[in-house]
Amino acid sequence: METIPFARPDVGAAEAAAVSDAILSGWVTTGRISAEFEQAFAERVGAAHAVAVNSATAGLHLALEAAGIGPGDEVLVPTWTFTASAEVVRYLGADPVLVDVDPDTLALDLSAAKSKVTDRTRGVIPVHFAGLPMDPRALAAFAAEHDLAVVEDAAHAFPASHSGQTVGAGTSAATVFSFYATKTMTTGEGGMVTTDDEDLARRVRVMRLHGIDRDVLDRYTRVGASWQYDVVAPGFKYNMTDVAAAMGLVQLGRAESMKQRRADIAARYDAAFADLPVRLPAAAGEGVEHAWHLYSMRLLDEAPVDRDTFVQLMQEQGVACSVHFIPLHLMTYWRERHDLSPEDFPVASDAITRVVSLPISSALTDDQVERVVAAVRSALKAT
């Protein structure tokens, strides 16, 4: 029996052809295709600027640096996230302050965040968990009340929207997307920073490639262009290649159909599991467009098995699952550095014992979806 992987990239001949063309073009690093991808992505989300980078982690680092976060500052980060959301704060000599999450959505709890604000707090990194966007109006009001820079971690949230506002547009300092292999669209590795702030975009562009003040394509290919350049800051090596961007352009063109497929799978799961002892993922309310990067449900007390046993039973039936996330306050570095305990984060500490993510890739076939359904019902002894 073939195992159904937890995540499978939805790529095919069109992506392969685009990558091949990029390789054979004579220019494989950051260049014209990357610029085209940036423009197309900015137009898709409704942002003034988009800057392609080699990972969302790089994008978060660059966005925070451009927003002025530095040594001694504090940045609010939900404990229910991947470690990259917090580690980038440390890159800058600042301190992430971990915050518990909303019991329904597992996204940052703004009321809990308010209690963590101090005179050192300079920013907040909301995470749109699983692809369900947080309310941008609530985020903007919270940031304005406390004079905070907002850098949205939208690694799960393309394409998604809330109240008519696409994630990636709006009033936040910046929004950062991931194109990692498991995400809703992929470039293999990669990410994108979007912003309406021209100065922030300019800083991100300079810092993504060693702090150099000129584009490498211009220096190397334009007839009559000068070889001279200047280093205006100690930057990083965070640029995206044209090879990756070529794949991204194809994936961007397919984004809506892939999103609809994931939404259809999520609806099938919701219907199939409605009578089981599980808490289904938070639903998108009116005016909310869910990206469905993850389908994460939680086992209830009355479930006949615990979460770890459930995952094992699924594996025995050839279905791979995952867990999103192990909250940061349970990780050795964050726990010891900030002297954290599970009692400080009751919602996340409870959720980690229950949550499990099922396969929801747009590459899944109908037969595979039905196999997942059957496996879940069997593992929970349901008929």
**Taking Cα atoms as reference points, which of 149, 153, 131, 132 lies closest to residue 140?**
149
The span from the CA of 365 to the CA of 301, in Å, is 32
Q: Which residues in the chain belong to E strands, given as ranges?
A: 49-53, 74-78, 95-99, 121-124, 149-153, 161-162, 165-166, 174-178, 191-195, 278-279, 288-289, 295-299, 355-358
> What values do phi and psi take at 4, rounded to 5?
-85, 115
Q: What share of the chain is helix, strand, coil (3-state, %, to 5)?
A: 40, 15, 40
Task: Answer for the pair 233, 206: CB distance below 8 angstroms, yes or no.
Answer: yes
Helix axes 84-91, 56-66, angle to 10 degrees: 40
Rounded CA-CA distance 354/359 in Å is 17
Q: Which of 114, 116, 183, 259 is catalytic?
A: 183
Structure tokens at 234: 């100690």
Residues 75 and 57: their CA atoms lie apart, in Å, by 16
Q: From 162, 375, 117, 115, select the one nearest 269 (Cα to Cα).
A: 375
Residue 183 bears catalytic tag: yes
Rounded Cα distance between 254 and 40, Å, is 13
Residue where the block lists tokens 């334009």: 222
User: Which segments of 172-311 are extended strands (E)?
Assistant: 174-178, 191-195, 278-279, 288-289, 295-299
> Are 207 and 63 spatial neighbours (Cβ–Cβ below 8 Å)?
no
d(CA 167, CA 163): 10
> Which residues are known catalytic residues?
183
